């Protein structure tokens, strides 16, 4: 799964899922989380202000970003299944605005089409 912010493999840091459908949108690598969020997604830091909703402001969560935490679980019929992440009330959310800010990188690594380039 690739990071929604830098496009590189997210390295199993966090999964970004739709807040309502829980469909997987992408991953979030540790570098992007640290650069853009610092420690603000950490539950113990933000818990005092916003237990639900966006971890960075007071708005409703548009997506949620559970930590990638694979665990072997045994279902009722005895089959072992891998649960890759769990969404709980401590899972940080992001509002639409903060999510879009994360997706759109503020540095463009490649020249955009139409940028004049001198060939050498
Ligand atoms: Zn990244
Ligand atoms: Zn927000």
Q: pTM value?
A: 0.74
Token reading at 57: 């402001």
Q: Separation of 120 CA from ligand 2 center, angstroms?
A: 46
Give CA–CA dist 86/101, Å, rounded: 24
**Which-ligand-closest: CA of 33?**
1
CA distances for 40 relative to 35, 47, 63, 93, 119, angstroms: 11, 10, 15, 11, 44
**Which-ligand-closest: CA of 31?**
1
Mean pLDDT calculated for residue range 82-106: 84
Give CA–CA dist 12/87, Å, rounded: 15
Percentage of the chain lying above the pLDDT 70 cut: 78
Q: Separation of 60 CA from ligand 2 center, angstroms?
A: 8
Q: Separation of 114 CA from ligand 1 center, angstroms?
A: 26
pLDDT for 65 beyond 90: yes
Q: Separation of 112 CA from ligand 2 center, angstroms?
A: 29
Q: Separation of 119 CA from ligand 2 center, angstroms?
A: 43
**Which-ligand-closest: CA of 11?**
1
φ/ψ (deg, to 5) at 99? -65, -45
pLDDT of 50: 54
* DSSP 8-state assignment for residue 31: H
């Amino acid at each position: 799964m690739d990071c929604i912010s830098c496009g590189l493999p997210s390295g199993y840091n966090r999964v970004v899922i739709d807040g309502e459908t829980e469909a997987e949108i992408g991953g979030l690598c540790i570098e992007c989380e640290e650069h853009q969020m610092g420690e603000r997604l950490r539950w113990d830091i933000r818990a005092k202000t916003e237990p639900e909703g966006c971890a960075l402001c007071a708005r409703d969560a548009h997506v949620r970003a559970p930590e990638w935490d694979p665990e072997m679980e045994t279902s009722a019929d005895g089959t072992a299944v891998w649960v890759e992440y769990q969404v709980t009330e401590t899972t940080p959310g992001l509002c639409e605005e903060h999510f879009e800010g994360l997706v759109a990188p503020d540095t463009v690594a490649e020249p955009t089409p139409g940028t004049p380039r001198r060939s050498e």
